[in-house]
């Protein structure tokens, strides 16, 4: 039956790529790897299962092959309805299955067929009967490209596995000549720091029969090579369906696989040869949200704790002893002086003049606020540096900020200075609103009313809004690692903000130290 034309994909961006292969329930090889690879390389994946394996990263413990009649039924169901832009063939298992697929290929004649002649799993298990090799060769003659690894190449031409790259190329030429099909010779099983692959076209380039087009590549130092052959052949089929150029398809697929091998350590799948990270190029879903949303949600618990602290409760209802309040103001003045220095260093790293000016203005206004604190509230003049020593929390908070300046990432630094703007403004708004709710007379008589009124400074609110915009911009431009570092830096600073308020405990404080969040655990996902 002719595929339903209305349902074809010709002319659309996403090609339909069918994988005919065995199932690997651990998801690293076989049809599962093919579907991921096709999807990651820009195709719409279809899948017809030849056999079910019971396997994981350690090995294969069983193979179950459904009746070939049902295989043919799956193949027909797909090709009767959907125009296939490319077909990739993997594990066949038996001669009967290989011949069934060959019969279907003869009937449907897909435009592009990439055959990965799977014989042995990376773990060593046999995935093809001995007497099926001839059937695979018959299938190879119907394919556009065959992608054997070194041992499979040897079996297909009846020779011992090649011991060198030159020998592998010679064997590849022989296979291309015998079956009249392009062959990709793969260097994965040879030793050495490089990992080349070579494309051998059956007739060769003009005047160069059997010439090999070599794609050099570095060998990634990893044991996570489960499913590399499956993933590569599916990627090549997909990229060929997109580009119509074998050389471009191999180059693009190989570059993608190298990066997938490199990113495999970020997965935690099994104890043996693990899978590659097919979707390494997809952005982490967390990073599609603005940094300020992530950071605010991440520190919701800390903010809740701050509002319950005896200091904040005492400041709000006026019961905070004057000595505690004065202690707080003194630490605040010491903090502001160090913080101004950190803001000046943030300015030095800013990517634009506008951001540089912004941080410098913030640094200046911190020093002005410090002077004002002394003049209006403490009745002293700011002393020379080092004459008044801060308490342990102020010291730790400042050390954290200074350490972040030393690491030199602008984005991380912006994240670490932000809580001093944002949390301070949020706590201030809360306290002011609480006092206002108690009525005007109470506000006028409130011992800290004048101080609380300073929280309403619109210039500070504007600066907080600008600092948040800068943090979101820096987050968008940051690498994934840097983004994680931003979230952690913000969380550290928010923790110190809490401890800073808690260091001035007020009348109802008990003696127990506040519990510190365990910052060694990973960044909390929203
Ligand atoms: N450690 C590695 N670093 C980089 N590329 C590799 C590595 N191991 C295999 N490859 C690549 O993976 C693909 C599959 O290769 P290979 O291991 O030879 O086949 P198979 O997975 O079929 O045994 C090839 O492109 C090969 O160059
Ligand atoms: C179902 C199935 N098909 C193929 C392979 C080969 O995998 P590799 O690419 O590691 O050689 C496998 N282990 N399982």
Nearest CA to ligand 1 atom 12: 228
* Per-residue model confidence (pLDDT) at position 508: 43
Same domain, 324 and 428: yes
**Does ligand 1 come within 6 angstroms of the Cβ of 236?**
no
Altogether, the residues listed in the chain come to a count of 526
Q: Which of 147-161, 286-300, 306-320 has the highest mean pLDDT?
A: 147-161
**Does ligand 1 come within 6 angstroms of the Cβ of 254?**
yes
Same domain, 225 and 87: yes
| In the chain, % of residues over pLDDT 70 | 89
Backbone angles phi, psi at 206, to 5 degrees: -55, 120
Say if 141 falls within a structural domain: yes
Say if 127 falls within a structural domain: yes
**pLDDT tens digits, one per residue of 389-415:** 889 999 999 999 999 999 889 999 999
* Per-residue model confidence (pLDDT) at position 488: 96
Give the mean pLDDT of the chain: 89
In CATH, what number is assigned to the domain containing residue 70?
A: 3.40.1190.20
* Per-residue model confidence (pLDDT) at position 363: 96
- The residue whose two tokens read 């004065």 is 326
Position 388 confidence tier, pLDDT thresholds 50, 70, 90: confident
Same domain, 80 and 22: yes
Same domain, 33 and 108: yes
* CB-CB contact of 83 with 14 (8 Å): no
CA of 26 to the centre of ligand 2 (A): 11
Answer with the residue of higher pLDDT: 282 or 347: 347
Nearest CA to ligand 2 atom 2: 30
The ligand placed nearest to the CA atom of residue 90 is: 2
| 341/331 Cα distance (integer angstroms) | 16
Six token digits for residue 1:
């039956």
Mutate to test the pocket of ligand 2, among 51, 62, 121 (most ligand atoms within 8 A of CB): 121
* Per-residue model confidence (pLDDT) at position 387: 67
**Does ligand 1 come within 6 angstroms of the Cβ of 189?**
yes
Position 443 confidence tier, pLDDT thresholds 50, 70, 90: low
The pLDDT of 78-102, averaged and rounded, is: 97
CA of 230 to the centre of ligand 1 (A): 10
Which 8-state DSSP code applies to residue 34?
H
Q: Which atom of ligand 1 is nearest to the CA of 218?
A: 4
Nearest CA to ligand 1 atom 21: 229
Nearest CA to ligand 2 atom 14: 30
Say if 192 falls within a structural domain: no
Say if 156 falls within a structural domain: no
| 446/494 Cα distance (integer angstroms) | 28
Six token digits for residue 414:
């912006």
Q: Which atom of ligand 1 is nearest to the CA of 220?
A: 3
The ligand placed nearest to the CA atom of residue 47 is: 2
The pTM of this model reads 0.66
Which 8-state DSSP code applies to residue 285?
G
Say if 391 falls within a structural domain: yes
| 122/264 Cα distance (integer angstroms) | 16
* Per-residue model confidence (pLDDT) at position 484: 92
**Does ligand 1 come within 6 angstroms of the Cβ of 261?**
yes
Helices (H), 180-309: 228-243, 246-262, 291-298, 300-308
Q: Which residues line ligand 2 (CB under 6 A)?
A: 21-24, 29-30, 53, 90-91, 118, 121-122, 127, 226-230
Same domain, 291 and 262: no
CA of 228 to the centre of ligand 1 (A): 6
**pLDDT tens digits, one per residue of 332-348:** 989 999 999 999 999 99
Same domain, 335 and 247: no
377 pLDDT higher than 80:
no
| 88/235 Cα distance (integer angstroms) | 9
Q: How many CA atoms lie within 13 A of 437 on its CB side?
A: 8
Say if 175 falls within a structural domain: no
Say if 3 falls within a structural domain: no
* Range scoring the smallest mean pLDDT among 117-121, 144-148, 230-234, 494-498: 117-121
CA of 458 to the centre of ligand 2 (A): 64
* Per-residue model confidence (pLDDT) at position 124: 77
* Per-residue model confidence (pLDDT) at position 434: 86
* CB-CB contact of 93 with 65 (8 Å): yes
Q: How far is CA 69 from the centre of its chain?
A: 42
Mutate to test the pocket of ligand 1, among 194, 225, 251, 263 (most ligand atoms within 8 A of CB): 225
In CATH, what number is assigned to the domain containing residue 330?
A: 1.20.910.10
Nearest CA to ligand 1 atom 4: 219
CA of 464 to the centre of ligand 2 (A): 55
The pLDDT of 273-299, averaged and rounded, is: 90
Q: Which atom of ligand 2 is nearest to the CA of 31?
A: 1
CA of 347 to the centre of ligand 1 (A): 47
Q: Which DSSP helix (H) or strand (E) runs through 52?
A: strand 44-55
Same domain, 247 and 387: no
Q: How many CB atoms lie within 10 A of CB 42?
A: 16
The pLDDT of 493-520, averaged and rounded, is: 64
Distances (CA, A) of 242 to 34, 46, 91, 116: 16, 16, 24, 19
The domain containing residue 347 runs over which residues? 285-502
Q: How many folded domains does the chain comprise?
A: 2
**Does ligand 1 come within 6 angstroms of the Cβ of 28?**
no
Same domain, 238 and 355: no
Catalytic residues: 186, 225, 227-230
End residue of a domain, out of 233, 266, 299 = 266
Q: Which residues of 338-352 are buried (b: 16+ CB within 10 A; e: fewer)?
A: bbbbbbbbbbebbee
**pLDDT tens digits, one per residue of 199-222:** 999 875 444 556 799 999 999 999
* CB-CB contact of 463 with 390 (8 Å): no
Same domain, 246 and 371: no
CA of 233 to the centre of ligand 2 (A): 12
Q: List the one residue out of 29, 41, 411 whose CA is nearest residue 235.
A: 41
Same domain, 136 and 48: yes
Mutate to test the pocket of ligand 2, among 127, 128, 257 (most ligand atoms within 8 A of CB): 127
Same domain, 240 and 129: yes
Q: How many CB atoms lie within 10 A of CB 521?
A: 7
Say if 206 falls within a structural domain: no
Q: Which atom of ligand 1 is nearest to the CA of 188?
A: 18
The ligand placed nearest to the CA atom of residue 152 is: 1
Laid out side by side, the sheet with 212-215 consists of 60-64, 44-55, 16-23, 86-89, 113-115, 145-146, 182-186, 197-200, 212-215
| 34/28 Cα distance (integer angstroms) | 9
Helices (H), 299-448: 300-308, 310-317, 322-349, 353-372, 392-407, 410-437, 440-445
Same domain, 259 and 293: no
């Amino acid at each position: 039956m002719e595929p339903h034309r209305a349902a074809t994909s010709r002319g659309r961006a996403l090609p339909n790529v069918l994988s005919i292969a065995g199932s690997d329930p651990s998801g690293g090889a076989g049809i599962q790897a093919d579907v991921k690879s096709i999807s990651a390389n820009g195709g719409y994946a279809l899948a017809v299962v030849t056999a079910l394996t019971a396997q994981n990263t350690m090995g294969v413990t069983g193979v179950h092959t459904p009746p070939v009649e049902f295989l043919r039924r799956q193949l027909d169901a797909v090709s009767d309805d959907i125009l296939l832009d490319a077909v990739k063939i993997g594990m066949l298992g038996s001669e009967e299955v290989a011949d069934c697929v060959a019969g279907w290929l003869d009937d449907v004649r897909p435009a592009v067929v990439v055959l990965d002649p799977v014989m042995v799993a990376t773990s060593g298990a046999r995935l093809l009967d001995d007497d099926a090799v001839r059937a695979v060769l018959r299938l190879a003659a119907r394919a556009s490209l065959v992608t054997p690894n070194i041992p499979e190449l040897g079996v297909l031409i009846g020779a011992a596995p090649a011991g060198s790259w030159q020998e592998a190329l010679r064997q590849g030429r022989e296979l291309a000549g015998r079956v009249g099909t392009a062959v990709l010779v793969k260097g994965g099983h040879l030793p050495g720091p490089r990992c080349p692959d070579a494309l051998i076209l059956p007739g060769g380039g003009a005047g160069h029969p059997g010439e090999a087009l070599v794609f050099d590549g570095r060998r990634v130092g990893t044991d996570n090579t489960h499913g590399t052959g499956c993933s590569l052949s599916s990627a090549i089929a997909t990229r060929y369906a997109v580009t119509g150029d074998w050389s471009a398809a191999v180059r693009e697929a190989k570059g993608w696989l190298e990066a997938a091998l490199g990113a495999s350590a970020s997965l935690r799948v099994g104890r043996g040869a693990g899978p590659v990270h097919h979707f390494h190029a997809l952005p982490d879903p967390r990073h599609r949200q603005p940094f300020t949303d992530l950071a605010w949600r991440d520190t919701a618990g800390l903010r809740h704790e701050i509002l319950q602290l005896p200091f904040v409760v005492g400041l709000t209802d006026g019961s905070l002893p004057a000595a505690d309040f004065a202690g707080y103001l003194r630490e605040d003045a010491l903090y502001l002086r160090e913080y101004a220095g950190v803001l000046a260093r943030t300015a030095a790293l800013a990517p634009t003049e506008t951001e540089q000016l912004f941080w410098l203005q913030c640094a200046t206004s911190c020093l002005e606020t410090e002077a004002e604190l002394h003049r209006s509230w403490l009745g002293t003049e700011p002393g020379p540096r080092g004459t008044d020593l801060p308490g342990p929390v102020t010291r730790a908070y400042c050390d954290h900020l200074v350490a972040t300046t030393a690491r030199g990432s602008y984005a991380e630094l912006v994240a670490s200075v932000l809580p001093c703007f944002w949390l301070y403004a949020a706590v201030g708004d809360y306290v002011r609103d609480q006092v206002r709710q108690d009525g005007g007379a109470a506000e006028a008589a409130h011992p800290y009313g004048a101080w609380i009124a300073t929280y309403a400074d619109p210039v500070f609110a504007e600066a907080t809004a600008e600092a948040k915009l800068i943090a979101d911009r820096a987050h968008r431009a940051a690498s994934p690692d840097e983004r994680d570092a931003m979230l952690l830096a913000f969380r550290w600073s928010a923790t110190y903000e809490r401890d800073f308020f808690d260091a001035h405990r007020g009348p109802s404080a008990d003696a127990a130290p506040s519990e510190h969040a365990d910052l060694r655990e990973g960044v909390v996902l929203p």
